[in-house]
Amino acid sequence: MPSEDVAEYGDPSRRTYLAAERTLLAWWRTAFAAVAVALAVGRILPGIDHLPKVPFAILGAGWALLAAGFIVFGTQRQRRGHRAIRAGSFQHLDQRVTTILAAHMLVLTIVTAAALFSEA
C-alpha cells in the first residue's frame, strides 16, 4: 500500500526530475547573463565610452566562451542526472569542471574590472 505522501504528491522521482529541470534552467540563465556581459563588454562599452575595441572584443569573447561552457556543462549534467535517476543512483557534480568555470569567471572579472578602471 502506497504511503500517504506518495498518494498526495506522487512518486518522489517525479519531483527529482522537476528539480533537475529547474537546475538546468538555472545553468542556462547564468549563461544568458554571461552573454549579456559579453555583449556589454565586447560591443557596447567601447562604443559608449570611446575605449579601444580590440581588448574589449577579446574580453567579450572570453565572456561568450564562459556562457557556452555553462550551456554545454549544464546540459550534459542534466542528461547524466536523468540517467542516474533512472538507474536509482546519484550523479555528483564534477568539481574539476566547476573549478575550471569558476577560475575562468574569476579571471574574466578581474581583467574586465582592471581594463575598465585603467581606462578611467
Could you tell me if 34 and 66 are in contact, meaning their C-beta atoms sit under 8 angstroms apart? yes
Q: What is the pTM of this model?
A: 0.83
- 31 Cβ neighbours under 8 A, 6+ residues apart: 67, 68, 70, 71, 74
Cell output for 41: 563588454
pLDDT at 7 over 70: no
- How far apart CA 31 and CA 66 sit, in angstroms, is 7
What pLDDT, on a 0 to 100 scale, did the predictor assign at position 16?
A: 85
Average pLDDT over residues 77-102: 91
pLDDT band at residue 86, thresholds of 50, 70 and 90?
confident
Q: What is the mean pLDDT of the chain?
A: 89
Domain residue limits, the chain: 4-119
Average pLDDT over residues 28-46: 96
State the sign of the Cα–Cα–Cα–Cα dihedral 20, 81, 101, 47.
negative
The span from the first CA to the last CA of the chain, in angstroms, equals 70
Give the pLDDT confidence of 103-112 residue by residue, as tens digits.
Answer: 999 999 999 9
